[in-house]
Amino acid sequence: MVLEAYLGHVVSPLAAGGLLDYRRGCMLVRDGVIEDVIDLDRNQSVPAEARVHDLGNRLIMPGLIDMHLHLPQVTQTGKSGQHLLAWLNQYIFAAEARFADTDHARKIARWFFDELAANGTTCAVVFTTIHKEACDAAFEIAEAKGSRVIMGKVLMDANSPPALTEDTQTSLAESEELLRKWHGRDGGRLQYALTPRFGVTSTPELLAGVGEIYARHKGVYVHTHLSEAREEIQFVAKMYPGARSYLDVYRSFGIIGRRTVFAHSIHIDSDDIDCLCQTQSSLAHCPSSNFFLKSGVFQYKTIKDAGVLFGLGSDVAAGPSMSLFNVMRDANYIQASHWLEPQELLYRATLGAAIALDQDDRIGSLEAGKEADFIVVDPTARTAIVGDILDHPTHEILSALVFLGDDRLIARTYVRGRLIFDGQIAQNRLVKQTTSC
């Protein structure tokens, strides 16, 4: 296999809060795996056998990891004016019902995965809809595109529109069938997540079935919502009066532990936090969405200090943008009393998320032996960022990315060393389309 050498300013979070920072760096990739990362300023040289990709005055960074978003909602961004349950009923459920049409589902899935790559997202934890065929098609498109995804068919059997309310056993059987087909596909690039939407739309029979499948298939994920909005919590409390808390509902059905991803988790107490920590469950913090729906504020410092595993999620469409740079910015803005450093936020969108997803042995940082999921970032593509930013100290560069960055900064996106987005090609295509109009 050819040894590929990527030259640029290599920046990557490392374990225990460290930062790899090579101004003149070289990342060596063979057969989709990082072989080494070397510092050319320390008298190290590019191996003679390598095929060189000189990326110029650009950053080479780990691919971004989005821990929570909704594929069918990509068409609904910016639909404002409601809190969670009213927003779902007014906008979202109708959009999801359209996925009964598999041709429509395929069209939106192609758009979705193209948008992820254009935003530098190399791994995403994704809700689809209740439709088995639509979920199957989404996996097919992700497989062909080269995206890394943890995804599943949504399960809903209560308190939802007729078009989205399923027979419990059919829903569980279809989920397990999709799991058997897709989980671990292509050496683990595609993974399956059992996806009960949330407590509001789940009967005890459904949650019990999810817990049983989760226990049966070691290594599979569970992805759901937890304690996002107070009205949601009150609804679940009435449905499950015997539970101590919303989290306790899931725990009582065996839906807790490693590879469970609970999105939002805003209104949780100290007992919940202890339980999450002890069981190594993970959270997806979605600050942009929490702003948008006015749901509340994630207890960032308390949860971090407790040692709970968590990363960031865009939560499109309640989150208005797939850009995790925007999400990082909002994570800082939404905290009234705590300043979150750009390096910490980058960590949560890369290695911190990989650890939360039990994927840090293969992704999340640029280290030898890991799979080559990385992005090429050009901060000068954003006019608000000073033109000589890459001559500044690295902490200032990261600050510019977090507070001024968006999709315009993404020059290239790679998964396992495969180029899945090239900004120059995309720009040329746009210019050509505009010229022909």
7: domain CATH number is: 2.30.40.10
Q: Above pLDDT 90, what percent of the chain? A: 93
Residues with Cβ within 8 Å of 265's Cβ and at least 6 positions away in sequence, in order, are: 226, 227, 228, 272, 276, 283, 284, 285, 298, 303
Statement to judge: residues 12 and 116 lie in one domain: no
pLDDT number for residue 388:
96
Q: Above pLDDT 70, what percent of the chain? A: 97
Q: pTM value?
A: 0.96
Statement to judge: residues 322 and 413 lie in one domain: no
Instruction: Please determine, for residue 209, whether its predicted confidence score (pLDDT) is greater than 60.
Output: yes
The arithmetic mean of pLDDT across residues 384-388, rounded, is 95
Domain of residue 393 covers 3-62+368-434
pLDDT number for residue 424:
85
Q: Residue 118: give its domain's CATH number.
A: 3.20.20.140
Statement to judge: residues 137 and 241 lie in one domain: yes
Confidence of residue 81 (pLDDT cuts 50, 70, 90): low
Instruction: Please determine, for residue 261, whether its predicted confidence score (pLDDT) is greater than 60.
Output: yes
Statement to judge: residues 295 and 317 lie in one domain: yes
pLDDT in tens, 106-117: 999 999 999 999
Instruction: Please determine, for residue 434, whether its predicted confidence score (pLDDT) is greater than 80.
Output: no
Statement to judge: residues 384 and 246 lie in one domain: no
In contact, 300 and 340? CB cutoff 8 Å: yes
pLDDT number for residue 126:
98
Indicate whether 361 belongs to any domain.
Answer: no
C-alpha closest to that of 154 among 249, 228, 232, 88: 88
Indicate whether 164 belongs to any domain.
Answer: yes
Statement to judge: residues 269 and 309 lie in one domain: yes
Indicate whether 130 belongs to any domain.
Answer: yes
pLDDT in tens, 1-44: 899 999 999 999 998 789 999 999 999 999 999 999 999 999 89
pLDDT in tens, 400-426: 999 999 999 999 999 999 999 999 876
pLDDT number for residue 436:
53
Indicate whether 109 belongs to any domain.
Answer: yes
The mean predicted confidence, pLDDT, of the chain is 96
Counted domains in the chain: 2
Q: Tell how far CA 27 is from the center of its chain.
A: 24
User: What one-letter code names the amino acid at 174?
Assistant: E
